[in-house]
Amino acid sequence: DHWLVFDWFKLIPHDCYKTMSDDKSNMVTCTAPVNIAVIKYWGKRNEELILPINSSLSVTLHQDQLKTTTTVATNRSFEEDRIWLNGKEEDISHPRLQSCLREIRRLARKRRNDTHQSFDVAGLSQKVHICSINNFPTAAGLASSAAGFACLVYTLARVFGVEGELSAIARQGSGSACRSMYGGFVQWIQGERDDGKDSLAQQVEPESHWPELRILVLVVSADRKPIGSTSGMQTSVKTSALLKHRAEGVVPKRMGDMIEAVCQKDFTTFAELTMKDSNQFHATCLDTYPPIFYLNSVSQQIINVVHRYNRHYGETRVAYTFDAGPNAVIFTLEQHFSEFVQVVQHFFPSEINGGKFIKGLPVDDANLSEGL
């Protein structure tokens, strides 16, 4: 189980908590990790329900790496639903937030009716205050909306005593969020139904399945991405013939191959499919009109370093993947991890934070031509 549920007062006090009540009886805090897609989701067939044009597969990171922490409180004295993200109040009327709140309250009402609870036991007559904090740059292509909506839905469910399949609700916050509802290796099955009831996340293998797998996040830039995923994929669906080919002709087989590689712990196949899928996703961004550029020159240098490293050993020891931003996520196995970290440090003089994050940019391009 990759969920952590805290007592609220263990959190660092934050301004927005002041608006919460002293009566802590109905306050829950949870954390959710981000997930990194190795078969990418890009393109919707239904914008409102967030139904994708292809299935996708991701690896959920450990809790202590990149995570969102969310506190939800209900109280009789609250006059309206409110939300703070990283300490700043945001507009609760956002349709995706409203979808998640509406669906959780619908399930809570159903449960109350089924169990003959009184109206107030489930806190259903009360408004919620939500505080959510990321420990990583928001909207920098590091899957912040995935962890954010997964955490919101899970925490709301705890507050209202709702159990069961919640990935279809998280999906309505942000597509990729449905995959953060589970740990380990998770597929989001695109589904066929128009109402989205079969568009769900499912665990392929738990995180304990492949303990040698290591993930390294190379933070190239913490800036907000110029084009968000939602609008970027809308333009791609409208304009890219390559995206249509990818969704229909490439991903269905690739999903099967990837699941097989994960189950067999076949790193070579896992790594090659991961890199090819990332490259095809960015190719569809380039095929979008007007084109979308998420990778920058540092990202391209990282790609080159990975291929040179693999070529040097004559085997695929390291893989990269990039989402809607320039930051690289590197997959490797334990036995190659520290050597590859040294390679990265050599090419990209940097600061290492906790051995897991590498921040910083190369001093100059010339630096990249040395070594290996």
Q: What is the DSSP string of 259-297?
A: HHHHHHT-HHHHHHHHHHHHHHHHHHHHHSSS------H
Distance (Å, rounded) from C-alpha 343 to C-alpha 340? 5
Residue from 33, 148, 175, 183 in contact with ligand DP6 (CB under 6 A): 175
Say how many C-beta atoms besides its own lie within 10 A of residue 139's C-beta.
16
Residue from 63, 65, 230, 367 in contact with ligand DP6 (CB under 6 A): 230
CB of 78 to ligand DP6, least distance (A): 27
CB of 312 to ligand DP6, least distance (A): 29
Helix, coil or strand: residue 254 = helix
The answer to the question of residue 287 lying near ligand DP6 (CB under 6 A) is no
The answer to the question of residue 41 lying near ligand DP6 (CB under 6 A) is yes
What residues numbered 124-163 form the site for ligand DP6, per CB under 6 A?
143, 145
Q: Which long-range contacts (CB under 8 A, 24 or more apart) does 3-10 make?
A: 3/30, 3/31, 3/32, 3/154, 4/30, 4/31, 4/63, 5/29, 5/30, 5/158, 6/30, 6/31, 6/69, 8/71, 8/73
The answer to the question of residue 274 lying near ligand DP6 (CB under 6 A) is no
Considering only the stretches 2-10, 37-45, 87-95, 122-130, report the one whose residues sit in contact with ligand DP6 under the rule CB under 6 A: 37-45
The answer to the question of residue 235 lying near ligand DP6 (CB under 6 A) is no
Considering only the stretches 19-27, 35-43, 118-126, 207-215, report the one whose residues sit in contact with ligand DP6 under the rule CB under 6 A: 35-43
Residue from 174, 187, 301, 321 in contact with ligand DP6 (CB under 6 A): 174
Pairing of strands 82-85, 88-90: antiparallel
HEC string for 257-268:
HHHHHHHHCCHH
- Of residues 123 and 175, the one with the C-beta less far from ligand DP6: 175
The answer to the question of residue 229 lying near ligand DP6 (CB under 6 A) is yes
Q: Which residue, judged by CB position, is nearest to ligand DP6 in the bound state?
A: 175
Residue from 292, 323, 329, 358 in contact with ligand DP6 (CB under 6 A): 323
Residue from 27, 30, 32, 50 in contact with ligand DP6 (CB under 6 A): 50
Nearest alpha-carbon partner for 225 in 283, 177, 296: 296
- Of residues 2 and 282, the one with the C-beta less far from ligand DP6: 282
Residue from 16, 20, 37, 97 in contact with ligand DP6 (CB under 6 A): 37
CB of 154 to ligand DP6, least distance (A): 16
The answer to the question of residue 56 lying near ligand DP6 (CB under 6 A) is yes
- Can you give the length of the chain in residues? 372
Distance (Å, rounded) from C-alpha 257 to C-alpha 252? 9
CB of 25 to ligand DP6, least distance (A): 33
Q: Which run of H or E residues covers position 308? A: helix 297-313
CB of 114 to ligand DP6, least distance (A): 31
Residue 4: burial class (beta carbons within 10 Å; 0-12, 13-18, 19+): middle
Q: Which two tokens stand for residue 260?
A: 């097989």
Residues ≥6 apart with Cβ < 8 Å to 329? 36, 215, 216, 217, 218, 320, 321, 322, 323
Q: Which two tokens stand for residue 91?
A: 């507009």
Considering only the stretches 1-9, 62-70, 173-181, 272-280, report the one whose residues sit in contact with ligand DP6 under the rule CB under 6 A: 173-181
The answer to the question of residue 55 lying near ligand DP6 (CB under 6 A) is no
Residues of the shown chain interacting with ligand DP6 in the complex, contacts defined by CB under 6 A:
37, 40-42, 50, 56, 143, 145, 174-176, 229-230, 323-324
